[in-house]
Chains A and B, each alone.
Chain A
Amino acid sequence: MSTESVGMEFLETRRRKLVMVYLPLLVFLFVLLFPFYWMAITSFKPNNELLSREGNPFWVIEPTLAHVKKLLFDTAYPQWMWNTVLVSVVATFFSLVASVLAAYAIERLRFSGAKQTGLAIFLAYLVPPSILFIPLASVVFQLGLFDTRLALILTYPTFLIPFCTWLLMGYFRTIPFELEECALIDGANRWQILVKIVLPLAVPGLISAGIFAFTLSWNEFIYALTFVSSSEYKTLPVGVVTELVEGDVYHWGSLMAGALFGSLPVAFVYSFFVEYYVSGMTGSVKE
C-alpha cells in the first residue's frame, strides 16, 4: 500500500492515484488549513460583514485595518508580544546550555549513575505541566516570584531541559568516540573537547533543540496563566485569551487578529527550519 519503490509505482494508474491519494490529501489540507484562513479573513473584516448572515462569508468585501489598529494601540498587545519573546528566548537559551552540559555528561563522561540519570530525565519529560502547576504555583509564591517574568523563565526549563537533553543525548551518541580520544591524547581537556569538537558536530541537534524549545515556550499557556496576573507581564496567548474577551460582546475581529499575529512569529521561525523541527520531533519519540 505504501511503497516507495519505483518498480511498483507503474502499477497504479494515474487516475486511481488522483482519487486515492491526491483527493484525500487535499481534503486533509483543507481541513488543517481552514482555521488559519478563517483567522486571517476575520481579522480584516469590518464588523457589519462579520455579524451578517448575508453575502459570502468566505470573502471580505471592504477589508479594514480597524481590528489590527485596536490591537496595537488600545490593548497591551505589543507588551505581551515583547514578554513572550523575552521569556521564550531567555528560557530557551538557559535550557540549551544546561541541556548540552547534562547530555554530554550523561552520554560521554559516563559518571557512575549516568544511565539512571538519563532515565530520570526521560521520566521528567513525561511529567505534564497540568499536574505540576498547582504545587509549582505555591513554590513560585514562596520564592516571591509570583507575577514576574522571572517566574516563567525559571519554570519553563522544567519541560525544556528534559526534552532538549533527551534530544541532544541522541545526537551526541552519533559522534564517534575516536574523535574525543584523539583530542584527549593531544592534551585537550574535557571542556575543550566539548566546545571545539562535540558542539560543532552537534550543530544540527542544537538547532533542532533550540527551535523546538522556542516554540514550546512561545506556546506555553497554563504556567503563564497561573503565575502571572498583571497585564503588563502576560504572555501573548494568555493576554489574548484573558484580556481581549470583554463580557458577552466578543470582538471577533481583534481576537482573530490577535491569534493570527501571535501565530505568525512561530510559523515564520518554523518555515526556515522545517527539517530541523521535524527531525527534533521524530527524534524525541524515536529513542
Chain B
Amino acid sequence: MFDRLQNSRNALGLIFMLPAAVLLLLFLTYPLGLGVWLGFTDAKVGRPGEWIGLENYIYLAGDSVTQLALFNTLFYTTVASVLKFFLGLWLALLLNKNLRFKSFFRAVILLPYIVPTALSAIAFWWIFDAQFSIISWALMKMGLIDQYIDFLGEPWNARFSVIAANVWRGVPFVAITLLAGLQTISPSYYEASAIDGATPWQQFRHVTLPLLTPIIAVVMTFSVLFTFTDFQLIYVITRGGPLNATHLMATLSFQRAISGGALGEGAAISIAMVPFLLGAILFSYFGLQRRAWQQGGADK
C-alpha cells in the first residue's frame, strides 16, 4: 500500500500540494468568494449581512466620494506608472553602461524598494511637512519661492506629493528588472546595427526597444497592479485628505469597512477594483504571447 502510494504521481502530488493548497484555499480563495458575497450584503462589523443585491453598487455609483476616489486612483496610477516607466527605463539604460562600481550602484538603488513602505512614507510625510519641509527650505534659500509650500494641505499639491513618493518607491523595481532584460540582449545586434550605420537613437528604437517589449509589458503590468491597489503610502501620508483629494479605492474601502464598520460597502469598493486589475492582467498575458513568436515559437 505504502509502496503503491510512493509510485503514484497523483497520490504523491496531492500530498505534496496539501499544505499550500489548504492555506491558499482557506485564506485566499474562500475570502475572495466571501468578498464578492459581502459586496451584495449590508454586513456590518459584528453583524452578518442580508442579501441586498446591487444596492451597495448603486449607492456607490452615486456617491461623490467614491467617484472622486475612482478618479484619484486612475490619475494616481496613470501618472505614477508613466513616470516610473520613463525614469526606470532611463536608469536601467544608465546602469547598463560599462560603469565603475556598477554592482554597488545596483545594490544601493534598490534600497527604496526593500525598506518598509510605511516607514519610508513617514519620512516623506516629514519631507512634505507644511512648516518644516526641507524642500521648501531649499527652494526658499535658492530664492525660487517666497513662502513655504503647503504640500499636503492643498488637493493638487497633495496628489502630486503622494505620486512623487510612489514613483520614488517604484522606480528601483522597474529599473532593476528592465536592466535584467537589457542584459539578455546580445551585443552582436548592436555591433551589426553599428556596422550598418545606425545612430544610438536608431539602435535604441529598433534594437533595444523591440527586444525589451515583452519584459516591459510584464514589469509595467506588475507596476500598474501594485499602484492601482496602493494603500500604505496614502494611509500614512495623507489618510485620504485633504477633502478626500488623495483617497484611493483601497484607502476608501478601509475607511468604510474597518474604521466605519460597513463591511458590505467596503467589500463592494474592493470588488469594484477587480475589473481594472483583470484588464491589467490581460495586458500582461498578451505581452507574454508576443514573446513566443519573438523567440521563434509558434503563435498560440
Residues of chain A whose beta carbon lies under 8 Å from any beta carbon of chain B: 1-9, 17, 21, 24-25, 28-29, 31-33, 35-36, 38-39, 42, 50-51, 53, 57-58, 94, 97-99, 101-102, 104-106, 109-112, 114, 117, 121, 124, 126-139, 154-155, 157-158, 161-162, 165, 189-191, 215, 218-219, 221-222, 225-226, 236-238, 240-241, 252, 255-256, 258-259, 262-263, 266-267, 270-271, 274, 277-278, 281-282, 285-286
Contact = CB atoms under 8 A, between A and B. Distances in A.
Interface string B28-64: 1011101100100001000000000000000000000
A128 B277 contact: yes
A190 B93 contact: no
B263 A274 contact: no
A58 B137 CA distance: 10
Interface string B90-102: 1101111111000
B5 to A, nearest CB: 10
A41 B194 CA distance: 49
B82 interface: no
Given A154-B27, A236-B116, A3 B187 contact: yes
A219 B117 contact: yes
A98 B19 contact: yes
B115 A219 contact: yes
Q: A-side binding surface: helix, strand, loop or mixed?
A: helix
Q: B-side binding surface: helix, strand, loop or mixed?
A: helix
18 contacts: A8-B194, A25-B105, A29-B108, A32-B109, A50-B132, A53-B132, A53-B137, A97-B19, A105-B16, A110-B9, A130-B270, A134-B257, A154-B27, A221-B231, A225-B235, A252-B129, A263-B119, A274-B107
Contact of A266 (B98, B114, B222): B114
Interface of B: 6, 9-10, 12-14, 16-21, 23-24, 26-28, 30-32, 34-35, 38, 43, 87, 90-91, 93-99, 103, 105-112, 114-120, 122-124, 126-127, 129, 132, 134, 137, 168, 171-173, 176-177, 180, 182-183, 187, 190-191, 194, 200-201, 203-204, 208, 215, 218-219, 222, 225-226, 229-232, 235-236, 250, 253-254, 257-258, 263, 266-267, 270-271, 273-274, 277, 281
A111 B215 contact: no
Contacts of A252: 126, 129, 132
Given A1-B203, A134-B38, A189 B6 contact: yes
Contacts of B183: 4
Given A28-B91, A219-B116, A270-B114, A2 B34 contact: no
Given A109-B13, A285-B222, A255 B126 contact: yes
Contacts of B109: 28-29, 32
A101 B20 contact: yes
A160 B122 CA distance: 25
A128 B225 contact: yes
A5 B191 contact: yes
Given A104-B16, A226-B258, A1 B118 contact: no
